[in-house]
Amino acid sequence: MARSERLLDLLQTLRRYRRPVSGATLAAELGVSIRTLYRDIASLQSQGADIAGEPGIGYVLKPGFMLPPLMFSEDEIEALVLGTSWVADRADEHLGSAARNALAKISAILPADLRDSLHNSALLVGPGQNISTDTADLAVIRKAIRSERKLIISYRDKNGADSERTIWPFALGFFDRVRVVVAWCEIREGFRHFRTDRIVSLDVTDARYPRRRQVLLKEWREAVGIDPSP
């Protein structure tokens, strides 16, 4: 994970806690060492984040800290509106809500003329096919991906046969009708794709998988012939 992304994740995590939270809890949630966490907190404090606390007591982000104002072109605003509209309509409930919240935060810091462009975009997301009902909690899967934790899943294939797998989830694909977990399967010793509407149950383990998520994603792209360039 890039350092800038890690610092942003730390900020977002701190925002969820209204009371002081221990460094050990933050480190475990973010999947970093306690030393890295202390360095990241010091870095955010030096950049102006009002984080109160100290090792052994806990940390809390005081209200009012905002990221620096952002400025977008009209094309960038239309891209943001179109993308968040699709996510709000076609992703799971938690991610859809996050998309709407993100757009509201962007709207709050834009100048009035650009804010009008955001709310009056002429680009629309058309209706898609019915999405298969997920039997797995996608928010839990996304958290396992971010923290690089193994999942134990009970999976039902297209023929109705059940199996139990231990997988290393490193990506989640959103298609028009289904969502798919991309993972390394310990039983098959290879990359596999698991439809979320066929995951009967899942448990997040405390075990981190042995290879980094970025490495697995790169290897998977090479295996299936996906060009990583934008």
The position carrying tokens 């809390």 is 60
Cα dihedral sign, 103-108-114-117: positive
- For residue 151, pLDDT over 90 is answered with yes
Annotation: CATH topology of 138-224: SH3 type barrels. (2.30.30)
Q: Domain limits of the chain? A: 3-61, 74-119, 138-224
Give the confidence band of 3 by pLDDT, cuts at 50, 70, 90.
confident
Of residues 38 and 75, the one with the higher pLDDT is 38
CA 146 to CA 2: how far, in whole Å?
A: 12
Of residues 138 and 132, the one with the higher pLDDT is 138
Written as one letter, the residue type at 110 is L
- For residue 73, pLDDT over 80 is answered with no
CATH class of 3-61: mainly alpha
pTM of the entire predicted model: 0.63
Give the confidence band of 9 by pLDDT, cuts at 50, 70, 90.
confident
Tell me the two tokens of residue 94: 């938690």
CA 96 to CA 77: how far, in whole Å?
A: 18
Highest mean pLDDT among 47-56, 77-86, 186-195: 186-195
Instruction: Give pLDDT, residue 230.
Output: 47
Q: Is 47 helix (H, G, I), strand (E, B) or coil?
A: coil
Which range (26-40, 88-102, 202-216) has the least confidence? 88-102
Instruction: Give pLDDT, residue 91.
Output: 85
pLDDT in tens, 86-103: 898 888 888 888 888 888
